[in-house]
Amino acid sequence: MGKVVGAAMLAHVPTIMLPQDVRYDLNGGKEISLVPGLKRFRSEVMEVLDYDTVVVLDSHWATTVEFVISAQAERSGLFTSEELPRGMSQIPYAFKGDPELANAVADYDEKNGTWVTPISDPHLPIFYATVNLWHYLGRGLDKRWVSLSVCQTAQTDDFLRAGRALGEAIRDSDRKVLLLASGALSHTFYKLRDLRKHEASDPSHIYSEGALQADLERIEWMKQGDHKRILETMPEFKQFKPEANFSHWLQMAGATGEEANTAKGVMYSEYENSIGTGQVHIYFPEPEGGFPLPKDVTLSREDPTGDVAATRGSVA
């Protein structure tokens, strides 16, 4: 029987890949806390925890008609970002995948009223929400890494359903899995003419006071293990445009029991700004008794009827 042995929401911002002197220059002569935070997370979690596979819930990998999970036996190459090639250029990556686990997730999608397709194409693109974290956390550790996409047409309950399918596949496997929800909190950028005034990490640069307070509220609830409160207030939080509709956190929640999960978050960075967006590293160690098993599909929070039309059968 497999299990989730830990979960984290981690920032992947391009700033972490810039040379140290550039980071210092952008941040008033001091380091952003996200970089030492990742280094500490590696030494205290990645190098110590007993796990076989890392699953990255990749908020930059946008699919359209389904969720997609990487199913290659290995992935390697050089990554240059189309978004910011000045800061992320020819970054080498090379790691084993986990085709067995990736293919297993598809066995649980219809049951959970969703669609998850494993893809093993060696030319499948990779995104910096995965590469940047692997760069800091995966190099030299010889662990399997898998990425799960965000479906850009999905809604809150769809992300939870995909997470449930992932959680059930892990439960019924022999894998010990570490989940990394790669993405931000509130996510509104300043406009081009203004953003260079807001590159420092101080939270005073967050795009709006409302976004700042909404982020701080949810960080506090994460620290308290009050995942139920975050789920209940998703409509309010969506006003502040969380990255990818908060898909990364919601998939993690779906795989770890949703409101039944009371794991308390441990901060691995300060709460920081990145040109208007809210960034933080928070780790949820496996609670005593383990993470709750994914539960049966419940009525959608987005659609009170719970109706989900599926081409492979209607599942609710």
pLDDT tens for 103-121 read: 999 999 999 999 999 999 9
The pLDDT > 70 percentage for the chain reads 93
Q: What's the pLDDT score for residue 296?
A: 65
Write out the DSSP string of 228-275. Answer: HHHHHTHHHHGGG-BGGGGHHHHHHHHHTTGGG--PPPEESS--EEET
Instruction: Provide the CA 308 distance to its chain's centre, in angstroms.
Output: 25
User: Rounded to whole angstroms, what are the CA distances from 271 to 34, 151, 205, 230?
Assistant: 9, 27, 12, 17
Residue 150: which H helix or E strand, with range?
Answer: strand 144-151
What is the distance between the alpha carbons of residues 67 and 121, in angstroms, rounded to a whole number?
15
Its sign, for the CA torsion 51, 57, 60, 63, is positive
Q: What is the mean pLDDT of residues 226-245?
A: 98
Q: What's the pLDDT score for residue 294?
A: 77
The pair phi, psi for residue 269, each rounded to 5°, is -160, 170
Q: What's the pLDDT score for residue 293?
A: 81
Mention every residue, 6+ apart, whose C-beta is less than 8 A from residue 104: 169, 172, 173
Q: Which residues pair with 165 in a beta bridge?
A: none
User: Letter for the amino acid at 91?
Assistant: I
Q: What's the pLDDT score for residue 297?
A: 52
Contact 109, 68 (CB under 8 A): no
Which one-letter DSSP state was computed for residue 288?
Answer: T
Domains, the chain, with CATH or none: 3-285 (3.40.830.10)
Q: What is the mean pLDDT of residues 124-133?
A: 98
What is the distance between the alpha carbons of residues 133 and 17, in angstroms, rounded to a whole number?
10
Q: What's the pLDDT score for residue 78?
A: 98
Contact 107, 90 (CB under 8 A): no
Which one-letter DSSP state was computed for residue 186?
Answer: B
